[in-house]
Structure 1
Amino acid sequence: MDNHILSALKAIDVSTLSRADWIAVGMALKEEGYPCSIWDDWSRNDSRYHPGECERKWNSFHGSGTPVKGGTIVQMAKDRGWTPFGGEDGCMNWDDAIEYDGEDGFNGFAPPDAWSPAADLITYLELLFDADDRVGYVTNDVWQDAEGKWLPSKGVYDRTAGELIASLKKYPDDLGATVGDWKPEVGAWIRFNPLDGDGVKNENITKFRFALVESDTLPVAEQDIVFRKLELPIAALVHSGGKSLHAIVRVDAENYDEYRKRVEFLYDFLEKNGVSIDKQNRNPSRLSRMPGVTRNGNRQYLIATNIGRKSWVDWLDFVEGVSDELPDMVSLDIFKDNPPELPEELITGILRRGHKMLISGSSKAGKSFLLMELCIAIAEGKPWLGFQCKKGRVLYVNLEIDPASAINRFLKIYEALGLPIKNADSIVVWNLRGHAVPLDQLVPKLIRRVRNQHFDAIVIDPIYKVITGDENNASEMGAFCNQFDKICTETGCSTIYCHHHSKGAQGMKKAMDRASGSGVFARDPDAQLDMIQLELSEDIANNVRDGNETAWRLESSLREFPNITPVNFWFEYPIHKVDDKGTLGAMPAQGTPQAGRLNNPKSKTPDDAADEFRTAFSALDMDGKVTVKDMAEYMGVIDKTVYARLKKMGDEFTLDKGVITKTNPENG
């Protein structure tokens, strides 16, 4: 363990950290190979601690982008007055592992009382090799580097497993008679895959049966527990005589390419389950510790054989049950006396911190201006469309507007709002016009850049620039929207984005159904706000407004709060102003029948239109038959209108070759 990092961690009061900093500490601990228990124990010192939350978050850390490293913890501690110390770095690399590690490496894991070195090595060879397989090993072929570290050379690689086993049985009390004497302070190594006898590189491997799993960061006893718990298909588990166990894991690959993919999967699985391993061991020709020899007085011995699953395929069946990355199930009972604390409200009554919000509207709504106004409201802690915002720090991801225009818009909005620019440093603009990539590629870059910047909200404007898949395909849009979840989860920020309305009139639709594409857009976010334009009466249009402003109504679909009372407002470039005089209260949304009748006295209700049609037919009916042309002339409309009215009359009338007939004349 790195006592340097742990000492720094102890100097940090978790209760003083923001959620983003708390998450950064967890990421750093995982990146440095510590178990989740370290983070969990430290987090218990905070009143916000909830059992199981650390483990759930830990399993969501996948190391995308540039990882958060232990230096983050050290810097946090230094900022709080902690003074680092030197000479206690316990982390080890591959070369360090060949030196004597001291007795502490055996804490909690005692070697057997009775030990037969030759029997250990015979069992090892019989498990891993066929009799005619050539085995590579290193005993006395070692050298020292400039720092005095002992390193292995190529060693022996032309003897078969059968030859070695026969010799070991012949000289059971003298291992050196078979493999050669080794330096007592160094120990010995063996390759776990067979060679062709011509060398010790990857290309000399003849069968890709096994991979090496080793961790120098977890205590030895804990390594043993974890390997067994994860049911790794281990053929042989060897104590290195130092600080690690060497697990020889069955991968059963047909060739090097398949071996590489399976080892990558194995290592990723272990990392996701909190086991930091030495990834230098990924090569099939790697040396591992040979059982049966001693290392500075400590035994390199065979701990167990054939543990876990029987094969790679069998283990994959097990993996499906533990690597789905889903959080654990929790009982409601544990929360009855200590309910989890809800995230704070970023926009009062609308959006919590770490949640998602979608703003939808037509192209004339000024959505980008509205989002910029929201950024300013958050930065300055001011109301937005009448809803108070918590003061915070916000990133505006600009995907559409020229960078210079975007900056000038912000400045004009500040001026129009009459606000002094006090907290402009709380608004950060990331101009990506001309640099946009699909959202699944953008998100890792975004997460990497915002870490440790203490943002409260991330605004993405607009999403059509980064959309992936068919926006009318529910499953593809579900996957697309999952990227917003990832931003919220990895950063702790609220994610706010906008989308356009579908084509055609929107007034008769529910607010949540107006956004273009799949209904996933409206149902995925925690808060959806929709802007629809209002139809103005001639009186308001001519006497209240100057002719340049447009009128809008904001409606909601909220998951965390009751839906808001619709908000009416004007868009007066470059800002939106709430209608606090009630002028727009009776104005209908565009696309509704009410809007159609507002300034058109000739517009009729469906019942009025039906009565007019019946009256016209009765006036023209002489023999039960009336032509479309006659009806059109009588009502003063075109033929197309008559046809449209007929469709709305249902079965009351029939049409045949331009002649209209009443279906049931006796009914009047």
Structure 2
Amino acid sequence: MEHKVDLISLLQYIDPTSLDYTTWISVGMALKYEGYTASDWDDWSKRDGGRYHPGECFKKWTSFEGTANPVTGATITQMAKDNGWVPRSSADREDRELSWDDEISGGDYVVVDRNWIEGKEIHEPADWNPVQQLTTYLESLFEASENVGYVVDTWKNDEGKYLPTKGAWDRTAGELIQRLNQCEGDIGSVLGDYKPEAGAWIRFNPLDGKGVKNENVTEFRYALVESDTMDIEKQNAIMRELELPIAVMVYSGGKSLHAIVRVEAANYDEYRKRVDYLYNVCKRNGLNIDNQNRNPSRLSRMPGVERNGKKQFIVDTNIGKANWAEWHEWIEGVNDDLPDPESLTDFWNNMPDLAPPLIHGVLRQGHKMLMAGPSKAGKSFALIELCIAIGEGDKWLGWQCTKGRVLYVNLELDRASCLHRFRDVYQALGLQPHNIGNIDIWNLRGKSVPMDKLAPKLIRRAAKKGYIAVIIDPIYKVLTGDENSADQMAHFTNQFDKVATELGASVIYCHHHSKGSQGGKKSMDRASGSGVFARDPDALIDLVELEVTEALLKQEENKAICAMYKRLFEQHNPAYLQEHVSQDDELSAKAMEDHAKRAMPHVMENIMPTIEQVLKAVKGRSAWRVEGTLREYAKFDPVNMWFQYPIHRVDDVGSLKDIEPEGEAPPWQKATNKRKDKAKKERRSKAEEFEDVVNNCNFGEPPTLNDVMAWYESTGKAVAERTVRDWVKKYGYKIDRSIGFRIVKNEDEVDE
């Protein structure tokens, strides 16, 4: 069953240990609704080792029945988004203004391996000093003249939860610090008494003294990072591993740490974008950030107070990078695997070795090659021939190949047909399968996925196998996007770069021609779709069909018959062949037949079926020209070849040298044809004119020569009698003496 989104892959963004029972059940219902299995739910649930019970998922699964308002896959999708997953469609929208709920997707930005991160404990201060706690917080975040917002008054909601009021906002940090230093440890005398069951809150950005909304924030200096869905120790470890530029980290007295992170934005718009970026990085590294904490006027837990018997205290100050710019550059650098620029002077006298050749004179190992051609060109057979040439260290279309391991990714043929083709090609080439262990076949018909999904699967399976080439046939089966879109095809072909880079192997793939005649086009312009297909590979091998004339076909039939007779002589009477058959005779089918009748009469008694088979094979041939565009090597001369199922054979004798591709003729021939066409048109026009004259110059009766001459003279174009006589013969007429030398149609012979 196909799913628009792979929900199993999205589950990696959802930690079952962070979910309550109802939400865990919802995940199971969504998986069942979308057609997944109880095993999928069970495998994911095992990640919650503390609550997982074998068999429980399967029991619950059977109780999930259809309802009017089912839980769908959208539930899992939204949960994954909340935990950092960004769908490609939204990640690609880089040219629009960000909204409040948008996330900056950027790169992967993964720094922390959540499977290996070890928790880092926090420790309550040995000497509890509330004044020192709060003073340190204020001195770390505020200038003395800046107004600070804080809340000590609370109210209870219907669920019995304490919530903060708007609190105070008209006192400066300097004033508060001074009063705290004078209060002899009683911070309630400075701020007002708070409820020990509820604790107290403070705002981390300075205010204008007129209110506590976003518009009252005077400096967009800090953002709050908080996650209450994992162990405190793990939160502490991840925040430190991420090198977040934390000014102050406070333990909330509950399930989370409150990290006050430097974002140092110039204005509200920049603040929003930086917080989006910050939260995205955190989520991608396992911190499930509450999006409600984005507001620059947000309250955070105040250090130096108690909450339900637990202290709210400063864990650390000035953690990670010193500022936003340094942290941002570090994050981008960690995820940037691009090489640094190099100076040519460092390598001028010590150049690195070039990649060794795979197909000598055509393609190097680790590079990319595209084979393009129309249907019926035998492209798949040519690629199978290439597999064999690499596996055996043999020649391919005349080019020597380096011997090594090769992977053939079969996307089109069923498994049995593909395997039979390899054996058929081996036998037709006359090669012994000495090194078939060098050839691996990955049969994916009916199982192929888009190339961006296939590439990592291919890399994983092919790693450490030592392949020097990977052949993918054909690419339309894994094509993603519009093949006429340059940017989409650039993304598509980038997947071949990944495979080549990760495996160190050449990637060779096959594509089809565009519609219409290809003879008049350059080889790099024939492949269907965007020009990216021509520009991307290091070598482009193109096949174009040649028009075989009747004369050439007869010549090939003669050669095939001669070769047949020679094989029969070698088998039945080699001595006669050596003594009586000359080299000239070996080139004549008639001469070879005469010799065979004399020397092998018993063989000739039943020779016709063999001759018919040979002629049928010749008629089944097609002729092709291989042209190319190379990046690493000089352009090669076109290679002409015959395709006779199931293999291609290079035309070593030059029979196809002067044959032109379909739809193409040399300039001199085009000019000649043009002149012939023009002359033919003019000739047809004069013939029609003469016919009109004969039919009309004597009132519809057959005219004499004088009648015709008189008509032309009347039009101002006088012609001689000899000219009229020539036209009579040329345009299919005759002079009939029996009716007085009159001009009539020649029914016996018409010269057109």
Correspondent of 1:210 among 205, 224, 228? 224
Structure possessing the higher relative contact order (Cα contacts under 8 Å, 6 or more residues apart): 1
Q: Spell out the pairing of 1:113-512 with structure 2 (5 A cutoff).
A: 119-124=135-140, 131-132=149-150, 209-211=223-225, 234=245, 236=247, 248-250=261-263, 262-263=277-278, 265-267=280-282, 279-280=286-287, 301-303=316-318, 307-309=322-324, 327-512=339-524
Counterpart position of 1:93: 118
What residue ranges of structure 1 are gaps of 5+ in the alignment? 1-59, 72-90, 101-115, 136-155, 180-189, 195-206, 272-277, 294-298, 626-630, 637-668
Q: CA deviation at 1:555?
A: 0.7
Counterpart position of 1:611: 679
Q: Spell out the pairing of 1:533-572 with structure 2 (5 A cutoff).
A: 533-545=545-557, 546-572=618-644
Q: Distance in 2 between matches of 1:215 and 1:388?
A: 59
Q: Deviations over 1:28-76 (max 9, x none)?
A: xxxxxxxxxxxxxxxxxxxxxxxxxxxxxxxx99699xx9x999xxxxx
Counterpart position of 1:184: none
Q: Distance in 1 between matches of 2:418 and 2:472?
A: 13
Q: Distance in 2 between matches of 1:215 and 1:379?
A: 53
Q: CA deviation at 1:616?
A: 4.4
Counterpart position of 2:99: none
Counterpart position of 2:600: none
SS of the residue corresponding to residue 557 of structure 1 reads strand
Q: Which moved more, 1:570-579 or 1:166-175?
A: 166-175
Could you say if the C-alpha distance between residues 217 and 210 of structure 1 is closer, same or farther in structure 2, counting changes exceeding 3 Å? closer
TM-score w.r.t. length of structure 2: 0.50
One-letter identity of the residue aligned with 1:211: V
Could you say if the C-alpha distance between residues 99 and 450 of structure 1 is closer, same or farther in structure 2, counting changes exceeding 3 Å? farther
Could you tell me the percent identity over the aligned residues? Answer: 40
Counterpart position of 1:530: 542
One-letter identity of the residue aligned with 1:607: R
| Preserved CA contact (<8 Å) 1:438 1:468 | yes
| RMSD of Structure 2 on Structure 1 (CA) | 5.7
| Preserved CA contact (<8 Å) 1:291 1:301 | no
Q: Spell out the pairing of 1:52-91 with structure 2 (5 A cutoff).
A: none
Counterpart position of 1:573: 645
Could you say if the C-alpha distance between residues 579 and 216 of structure 1 is closer, same or farther in structure 2, counting changes exceeding 3 Å? farther
Q: CA deviation at 1:557?
A: 0.5
Q: Distance in 1 between matches of 2:648 and 2:109?
A: 41
One-letter identity of the residue aligned with 2:625: R
SS of the residue corresponding to residue 619 of structure 2 reads coil
One-letter identity of the residue aligned with 2:150: D
Q: Distance in 2 between matches of 1:573 and 1:129?
A: 86
Q: Distance in 2 between matches of 1:63 and 1:570?
A: 54
Q: Which moved more, 1:513-522 or 1:259-268?
A: 259-268
| Preserved CA contact (<8 Å) 1:134 1:157 | no
One-letter identity of the residue aligned with 1:477: M
Q: Deviations over 1:389-434 (max 9, x none)?
A: 1222222221111121111111221222233323333322222222
Could you say if the C-alpha distance between residues 212 and 486 of structure 1 is closer, same or farther in structure 2, counting changes exceeding 3 Å? farther
Could you say if the C-alpha distance between residues 305 and 443 of structure 1 is closer, same or farther in structure 2, counting changes exceeding 3 Å? closer
| Preserved CA contact (<8 Å) 2:373 2:513 | yes
Could you say if the C-alpha distance between residues 385 and 124 of structure 1 is closer, same or farther in structure 2, counting changes exceeding 3 Å? same
Could you say if the C-alpha distance between residues 92 and 614 of structure 1 is closer, same or farther in structure 2, counting changes exceeding 3 Å? closer
One-letter identity of the residue aligned with 1:120: T
| Preserved CA contact (<8 Å) 1:120 1:302 | no
Counterpart position of 1:583: 655
Q: Distance in 2 between matches of 1:416 and 1:582?
A: 22
For this pair of structures, how many residues does the alignment match? 462
One-letter identity of the residue aligned with 1:132: Y
SS of the residue corresponding to residue 643 of structure 2 reads strand
Q: Which moved more, 1:369-378 or 1:170-179?
A: 170-179
SS of the residue corresponding to residue 605 of structure 1 reads helix
Could you say if the C-alpha distance between residues 235 and 507 of structure 1 is closer, same or farther in structure 2, counting changes exceeding 3 Å? same
SS of the residue corresponding to residue 456 of structure 1 reads strand
Q: Distance in 2 between matches of 1:171 and 1:258?
A: 36
One-letter identity of the residue aligned with 1:248: V
Q: Distance in 1 between matches of 2:152 and 2:434?
A: 74
Could you say if the C-alpha distance between residues 538 and 450 of structure 1 is closer, same or farther in structure 2, counting changes exceeding 3 Å? same
Q: Distance in 2 between matches of 1:415 and 1:133?
A: 87
One-letter identity of the residue aligned with 1:265: N
Q: Distance in 2 between matches of 1:246 and 1:503?
A: 62
Q: Distance in 2 between matches of 1:211 and 1:552?
A: 66
SS of the residue corresponding to residue 540 of structure 2 reads strand
Correspondent of 2:525 among 510, 513, 538? 513
| Preserved CA contact (<8 Å) 2:135 2:180 | no
Could you say if the C-alpha distance between residues 608 and 92 of structure 1 is closer, same or farther in structure 2, counting changes exceeding 3 Å? closer
Q: Distance in 2 between matches of 1:405 and 1:586?
A: 37
Q: CA deviation at 1:587?
A: 2.3
Q: CA deviation at 1:478?
A: 2.8
One-letter identity of the residue aligned with 2:382: L
Q: Distance in 2 between matches of 1:375 and 1:192?
A: 70
One-letter identity of the residue aligned with 1:122: L
Could you say if the C-alpha distance between residues 613 and 471 of structure 1 is closer, same or farther in structure 2, counting changes exceeding 3 Å? same
Q: Distance in 1 between matches of 2:148 and 2:246?
A: 14
Q: Distance in 1 between matches of 2:457 and 2:201?
A: 40
One-letter identity of the residue aligned with 2:411: L
Could you say if the C-alpha distance between residues 379 and 281 of structure 1 is closer, same or farther in structure 2, counting changes exceeding 3 Å? same
Q: Distance in 2 between matches of 1:345 and 1:361?
A: 24
One-letter identity of the residue aligned with 2:429: L
One-letter identity of the residue aligned with 1:566: P
Q: Distance in 2 between matches of 1:511 and 1:290?
A: 72
Q: Deviations over 1:260-317 (max 9, x none)?
A: 964463359xx9xxxxxx634756799x999999xxxxx964237995348xxx9989
Counterpart position of 1:654: none
One-letter identity of the residue aligned with 1:434: G
Q: Distance in 1 between matches of 2:432 and 2:187?
A: 85
Q: Distance in 1 between matches of 2:507 and 2:651?
A: 27
Could you say if the C-alpha distance between residues 564 and 549 of structure 1 is closer, same or farther in structure 2, counting changes exceeding 3 Å? same
| Preserved CA contact (<8 Å) 2:459 2:502 | yes
Counterpart position of 1:655: none
One-letter identity of the residue aligned with 1:614: E
